[in-house]
């Protein structure tokens, strides 16, 4: 005959079976989505943002970053961290960047709120 489980480990196992335990798990999951959801989504969809001509860049590139919205100061400053800001390309939501390194190009493509990254000719 087996003995009943006692002590802290049994209490922890039974906690996960209670309503409080399930609320704790749900809260932790919501918190993880809030903190890491945009980053994970950006990494998962990065290849769809980057133009095929830029995927195998070996040196600095001149690019146009296309947004689906009118950027605020925050967006302009954040995009400018990846290269040298060189103005707009026709409309306010098309930003020109010069001298974007291949590493920064990959990092820029992982930003979830960017729609496309095209080569600038």
Tens digits of residue pLDDT in 58-96: 999 999 999 999 999 999 999 999 999 999 988 999 999
Question: What ranges make up the beta strands (E) of 47-112?
Answer: 61-67, 84-89, 91-100
Q: Tell me 82's DSSP state.
A: T
Q: What is the pTM of this model?
A: 0.74
Mean pLDDT, the chain, integer: 88
Residue 14: pLDDT band by 50, 70, 90 thresholds? low
Q: Please tell me whether residue 66 adopts helix, strand or coil conformation.
A: strand
Q: Which two tokens stand for residue 36?
A: 């890491």
Q: CB atoms < 10 A from the CB of 117, how many? A: 23
Task: Round to whole Å and give the CA distance between 61 and 96.
Answer: 11
Residue 98, pLDDT > 70, answer yes
Q: Quick check: 67 and 93 in contact, CB under 8 A? A: yes
Query: What mean pLDDT do residues 11-38 have?
Result: 83
């Amino acid at each position: 005959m087996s003995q009943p489980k006692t002590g802290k480990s049994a209490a922890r196992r039974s906690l996960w079976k209670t309503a409080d335990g399930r609320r704790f798990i749900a809260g932790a999951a919501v918190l993880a989505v809030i903190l890491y959801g945009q980053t994970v989504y950006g990494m998962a969809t990065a290849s769809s943002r980057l133009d095929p001509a830029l995927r195998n860049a070996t040196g600095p590139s001149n690019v146009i970053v296309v947004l689906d919205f009118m950027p605020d100061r925050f967006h302009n400053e954040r995009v400018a961290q990846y290269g040298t800001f060189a103005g707009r390309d026709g409309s306010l939501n098309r930003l020109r960047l010069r001298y974007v390194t291949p590493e920064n190009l990959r990092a820029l493509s992982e930003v979830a709120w960017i729609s496309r990254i095209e080569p600038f000719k």
